[in-house]
Amino acid sequence: MLTKDELEKYDRQMMIRGFGQKGQEKLKKAKVFIAGAGGLGAASATYLTAAGVGVLRIVDHDRVELSNLNRQVLHWHEDTGKRKVNSATQKLRKLNPEVKIEAIEERITEANISQLVAGFDLIVDAMDNLPSRYLLNKMALEKNIPFFHGAVYGFEGRAMTVIPGETACLRCVYRGAIPEEKFPVIGVTPAVIGCIQAAEVIKYIVGIGQLLTNRLLIYDGLNMKFTEFSVKRDPNCEHCGHLEGKS
Amino acid sequence: MERKIKVHFSPGEEKEVTVEEAKRILDETYNDPLGGLVANGKTNEVIFQIDPDVEEIIVLEMMIGGG
């Protein structure tokens, strides 16, 4: 049930065809896990908070550095040195006090990931390294949790949505195992991709529109082009090949 | 005439190669730990082998950044 304030706050999005109060109530009940409070995490968390999801759990082990501030817009100059999850939570709670924001200061590892995502309905991949992304992808598949992938490099970004057992997963597409590294990026790129991830999450929860499944969306900010590449489930995929379901 | 395949590398670099060379590029892309992925340049479908109907391929680099 929505409160009087919520009915007013979310009025414009509830006007969207197929959204309505029912869609808003679905959002209010949803529990979203965001892996990473960096550029992608800042954008997706901001818009999911503004949209009125029920619970957001943000996990990150880093502290805010000056070199983060060109793109990680939830962290401001005064936050330098603070834990990113605390800096992000502080702003998000001010943006929308009705959303329950959970901040967890931990590095995501094979040992803790199952516990971290337990009870959550969706996973947003806002990580900055491939091993963690694979870990999240695998856990999402194991626990049957939809997974919203995003990645950036310079002016380029990518996004893809994974419905476990039904659509291609991250491992169906990527075979490499590139290690953690410093990469170039302009702030607008994670903003674009993080917002695409947030839009996918909202559409999935509300049950409207067509998801970015079996398609890898590539954003080329330098030439201002969006390109789609179709991808298929790999029956021999080491992460999802054993799962039954529609392909 | 020998079949040629156009290979598009990001960003913007392209060349025409033999089928064998295209297969080698594809294998190297997927076997290299730093490799990315390969798509059919006509259909925009991500591919893992060079089928007879493939005329162009696009080599996309791996992308990991998020923060």
Condensed to tens digits (0 to 9), the pLDDT of residues A152-198 reads 999 999 999 999 999 999 999 987 776 667 889 999 999 999 999 99
Q: Are A231 and A214 in contact (CB under 8 A)?
A: yes
| Cα–Cα distance measured from residue A21 to residue A11, given in angstroms and rounded to the nearest whole number | 9
CA neighbor of A142 nearest in space, from A134, A153, A150: A134
Is A23 part of the contact surface with chain B (CB cutoff 8 Å)?
A: no
Chain B residues in contact with A88 by the CB 8 A cut-off are none
| CATH code of the region A4-230 | 3.40.50.720
Query: DSSP E strands: which ranges in chain A?
Result: 31-35, 55-59, 100-104, 122-125, 147-153, 156-162, 215-220, 225-230
- Residue A144 has a pLDDT of 97
Taking CB atoms and an 8 Å cut-off, how many pairs form between chains A and B? 91
Is A185 part of the contact surface with chain B (CB cutoff 8 Å)?
A: yes
Q: Dihedral (C-alpha) A81, A84, A88, A90: value to the nearest 10 degrees?
A: -50
Phi and psi for A100 in degrees, rounded to 5? -85, 115
Chain A residues in contact with B64 by the CB 8 A cut-off are 128-130, 133, 151, 153, 178, 180-181, 183
* pLDDT > 70? residue A227: yes
What's the rounded mean pLDDT across residues A197-203?
A: 98
Point out the residue among B34, B44, B64 whose CB comes nearest to the CB of A229.
Answer: B44
Instruction: Name the pTM for this structure.
Output: 0.95
From residue A181, alpha-carbon distances to A31, A151, A239, B1, B34 in Å are 31, 13, 24, 45, 11
Rg (CA), chain B: 12
- Across-strand partners of A159? A150, A217
* pLDDT > 60? residue A246: no
What's the rounded mean pLDDT across residues A219-234?
A: 95
Stretches in chain B below the pLDDT threshold 70: 10-11
- Contact between A183 and B64 using a beta-carbon 8 Å cutoff: yes
Q: Residue A152 is which amino acid? A: V
Q: Are A198 and A139 in contact (CB under 8 A)?
A: no
Sequence-ordered list of residues with C-beta below 8 angstroms from that of A177, at least 6 positions apart, any chain: A130, A131, A134, B33
Give me the residue spans of the domains in chain A: 4-230
- Distance from B4 to chain A by nearest Cα, in Å? 22
Cis ω on the peptide bond leading into residue B52 (within 30° of 0)? Answer: no
Looking at chain A, the number of H-run helices and the number of E-run strands are 9, 8
* pLDDT > 70? residue A4: yes
What's the rounded mean pLDDT across residues A116-127?
A: 98
* pLDDT > 60? residue A247: no
ipTM attached to this prediction: 0.86
CA neighbor of A178 nearest in space, from A153, A201, A212: A153
- Contact between A230 and B37 using a beta-carbon 8 Å cutoff: no
* pLDDT > 70? residue A206: yes
